[in-house]
Amino acid sequence: MAGTFWVSPRTSPDFAWALASRFLFVLAYAFLVTYQAYYLLDTWAAPKPMCRNRSSSAPWSSPPCWWRHRCWAGGCRTGRADGRSSSWRPVIYGVALFLIAAATSFNGFLVGMAFGGLGFGLYMAVDLALVVDVLPDPGSAAKDLGVLNIAGALASAIAPAVAPAILAVGGGSYRVLYTVAGVCALAAAAIAPVKRAG
């Protein structure tokens, strides 16, 4: 049964890159939200943990979805123009993480979180459509999308275990943790696959 979930990176390289990209992006996100409450308590002496900022991505999600469906209806499938049109979304999230890492005030943290909501919303609005473009076999689409979901769930499970090691190496610095998260997001952008035209 486990063997049925295997997708060969050699025969389906774009899908393999999609898995790796999703894993790195969710890992970056999980680094932020898993330790966000501790960061606020330790750094800014917040009276109580703030809620996860997932809701901040909502205003940014609708426009890309609207644009995506309109674009597909017109036949201009994502990624056909220059081959890299999807890669900038994780970059926004990576920049947001660097802003959070460099924040010297609570307002600076809020600015970083605002950019993070923008980047996360833009990414999630179109990510599934981009992945569907690189599925190995239409006949096993449900299984392959399940494998993709495993990549995200695995990253969410690994982040809480890896983060303490990063904090230990960085002397307990959350700046180091969120810088590593930013690097993960930029790496997700660098390896994001794009369906070629034709």
Nearest Cα neighbor of 109 from 171, 37, 61 is: 37
pTM of the model: 0.72
Query: Are the C-beta atoms of 171 and 55 separated by less than 8 Å?
Result: no
pLDDT in tens, 4-46: 667 777 877 888 888 888 899 999 999 999 888 888 888 876 4
Reported as a pLDDT band with limits 50, 70 and 90, residue 193 is low
Alpha-carbon distance of 69 to 51, in angstroms, equals 31
AA letter at 143: K
Query: Are the C-beta atoms of 28 and 184 separated by less than 8 Å?
Result: yes
Reported as a pLDDT band with limits 50, 70 and 90, residue 129 is confident
Alpha-carbon distance of 71 to 83, in angstroms, equals 16
- CA 126-96-132 angle, to 5 degrees, is 15
pLDDT in tens, 138-191: 777 777 888 888 888 899 999 999 999 999 999 989 999 999 999 999 998 888
Q: Thinking of the domain 12-191, which architecture would CATH place it in? A: Up-down Bundle (1.20)
Residue 57 scores a pLDDT above 50: no
pLDDT in tens, 91-122: 889 999 999 999 988 999 999 999 999 888 88
Neighbouring C-alpha atoms within 13 Å toward the C-beta of 102: 9
Query: Are the C-beta atoms of 125 and 61 separated by less than 8 Å?
Result: yes
